[in-house]
Amino acid sequence: MSHDDDDMLFDDDAPSQGAAGGPAPWDILVVDDEKSVHQVTELVMGDFTFDGRPMRFTHCYSAAEARALLDRPNQFALILLDVVMESDHAGLELVRHIRETLGNSTVRIVLRTGQPGQAPQAYVLKSFDINDYREKTDLTHAKLSTVFYSALRAYRDLMRLERARSGLRRSIDAITHVCDSDNMRSFCSAVLEQASALLGHDGEGLCASRVNAYAAARQGENLKVLAVTPAFAGLKSEETLDHLPVPVRHAFMRCMRERRDHHGDCWYACYYRTREGNESLLYMTFSEPIGDEERELLALFSANVASTYEKLVQREESAATQDAIIGILGEALERRSAVAGAHVVRVGEIAGMLACAAGLPPALVRQLRQAAGLHDIGHSGVPDTVLHMAGSLNDEQWALMRSHCQTGRDMLARSTQPVLQLAATIAYEHHERWDGSGYPRGLPGERISIAGRITALADFVDAMVSPRCYRPAWPLEHTLEQVRQESGRRFDPALVQLLLAEADALRALYARLPPA
């Protein structure tokens, strides 16, 4: 999986696979200045397991050594901590460091002492954020098992709550940004993590969708992997059934064939088909059996993901259709334009470049890149004899030529689509000038919309470097010098500075899309 897909993964706190392929162990830190205590603790608890996971011990022989080791939260599930080490209160000072300085409130801390009089139990329990207080003589399997069960169960439940909170935060944040497929994957992963945590089980799995080929032929028969947990992190976004792990592939094939859910004791495969024929598939595997209520929650999640993803695909297709229509209009316009080559495309690219440099919102930048190319759509109302005249225009012809601003606005303003409303404004204002000497209304300065000011500059640049029927093309460097001279008169000075700063990007654009 690429770096861009990192947001599909869950937090590292979720139980993962161990080095040998088994469940990851619980990390236990023993801090004590007596080697025998370390030896006996690991000997007695070496074969202890909790929730099917073994123990892994780390040993420190002083509080100072432990401080150097404790550099990140949730590094250890349980700390068995001696009170008296290099000083009488070294253990207690380490507790304050963990809880207050490091801000680690999840690790379970069990104080152990061989000198109860040095730190009275009532005082320590009241004054320090610890979870248990034991004497070092409590080294039998039965007594240590009680400590381990209590501490690890509490740690596990705290981490489940933390993952649920984290998943909820990510879900809420993702909901506000679900505007494309990548953000949809973030949303699904966050919700899938939350659902797994709220079930009270440690789950691994993935969520996928298959869009009806009639609705979106580009999807074909491929699946779209929308969400994964760490155990499935190697899956790419676009996968075929053949590339899925065998248990998942078999479960999905059966679900699609029978169009219903299937499950075993510790796994669940959910199938949901929308009205449009799009299919949503969810596969989850758990460390222990789940019940009907948990399966119902996962089915609800799968159905909602399917509906949301379907709406997203439809919206993206609608946007693509709009882009195509605008492109066709621009191409039709260019076929009878006095400017040869991909003028409408380049004007859109330059306008988008300037809008981005000016710090406009991304949505407006995208719309402006589309709309700017329609600035001269009003030329459709100007006779060819006037539009392609090589010489000077008389007053009547000039009036016809100037009317293209109003014509373009009238054509585009009929639509309620935001991008075409923006294009109507651009068509009306792209011949206005910063000093107020432009047309059709003679608007000065910032009374001209930012879209009109940007497009006026983009149109001028590309018109200058493009050949016309009455003159050859000008070099880009000469054009930029003309722009500099017109700053404050024809063009917004701030936009001129932004354009000049993008000179290298302009050269790259004309290398990619040269004028005819």
pLDDT tens sequence across 158-216: 887 877 676 566 555 545 554 554 555 666 666 666 666 556 566 788 888 776 543 33
Give the number of C-alpha atoms closer than 13 A to the C-alpha of residue 63, restricted to the C-beta side.
19
Q: Which residues contact 207 (CB under 8 A, 6 or more apart)?
A: 188, 192, 225, 226, 227, 228, 280, 281, 282, 283, 301, 302, 305
pLDDT reported for residue 334: 65
pLDDT tens digits along 333-351: 766 665 555 788 899 999 9
Q: Report the alpha-carbon distance of residue 392 to residue 371 in Å, rounded.
A: 30
| Strands 238-239, 223-228: pairing kind | antiparallel
Closest CA to 327 of 379, 366, 374: 374
Under 8 Å between Cβ of 415 and 421: yes
DSSP code per residue over 127-188: HS--SEEEETT--SHHHHHHHHHHHHHHHHHHHHHHHHHHHHHHHHHHHTT-SSHHHHHHHH
pLDDT reported for residue 355: 96
Under 8 Å between Cβ of 98 and 107: yes
- Order the strands of the 49-50 sheet from edge to edge: 49-50, 53-60, 26-31, 78-82, 108-113, 132-135
Q: Report the alpha-carbon distance of residue 478 to residue 258 in Å, rounded.
A: 69
- Plot region of 489 (φ>0 → left; ψ -120 to 50 → alpha; else → beta): alpha
Q: Structure tokens of 360?
A: 């406009």
Q: Structure tokens of 173?
A: 């944040």
Three-state DSSP at 431 gives coil
Q: Report the alpha-carbon distance of residue 139 to residue 44 in Å, rounded.
A: 8
Q: Report the alpha-carbon distance of residue 106 to residue 157 in Å, rounded.
A: 10
- The three-state DSSP-derived secondary structure of 287-335 is CCCCCHHHHHHHHHHHHHHHHHHHHHHHHHHHHHHHHHHHHHHHHHHHH
Under 8 Å between Cβ of 135 and 120: no
- Plot region of 105 (φ>0 → left; ψ -120 to 50 → alpha; else → beta): alpha
Three-state DSSP at 105 gives coil
Distance of CA 134 to the CA centre of its chain: 47
pLDDT reported for residue 291: 76
Within 10 Å of residue 506's Cβ, how many Cβ atoms?
21
Domains of the chain: 16-159 (3.40.50.2300), 177-315 (3.30.450.40), 336-512 (1.10.3210.10)
Closest CA to 304 of 197, 209, 180: 209
Q: Structure tokens of 161?
A: 């709550």
pLDDT reported for residue 354: 97
pLDDT reported for residue 435: 97
Q: Which residues contact 491 (CB under 8 A, 6 or more apart)?
A: 433, 434, 453, 456, 457, 460, 483
- Order the strands of the 238-239 sheet from edge to edge: 238-239, 223-228, 203-210, 279-286, 267-273, 262-263
Partnered with residue 80 across adjacent β-strands are: 30, 110
Give the number of C-alpha atoms closer than 13 A to the C-alpha of residue 208, restricted to the C-beta side.
30
| Strands 108-113, 26-31: pairing kind | unpaired
pLDDT reported for residue 315: 73
Q: Report the alpha-carbon distance of residue 452 to residue 176 in Å, rounded.
A: 30
Q: Structure tokens of 468?
A: 């016309």
Q: Report the alpha-carbon distance of residue 129 to residue 109 in Å, rounded.
A: 8
pLDDT reported for residue 228: 79
Question: How far is residue 488 from each of residues 129, 379, 437, 445, 477, measured CA to CA in Å?
Answer: 67, 28, 12, 9, 19
- Tokens 């259709």 belong to residue: 321
* H or E element that contains 57: strand 53-60
pLDDT reported for residue 222: 65
* Burial class of residue 500 (count of CB atoms within 10 Å of its CB; 0-12, 13-18, 19+): middle
Q: Report the alpha-carbon distance of residue 280 to residue 183 in Å, rounded.
A: 17
* Burial class of residue 307 (count of CB atoms within 10 Å of its CB; 0-12, 13-18, 19+): middle
List of the chain residues with pLDDT < 70: 1-22, 73, 116-119, 164, 166-202, 211-222, 238-239, 306, 309, 316, 331-332, 334-341, 469-470, 516
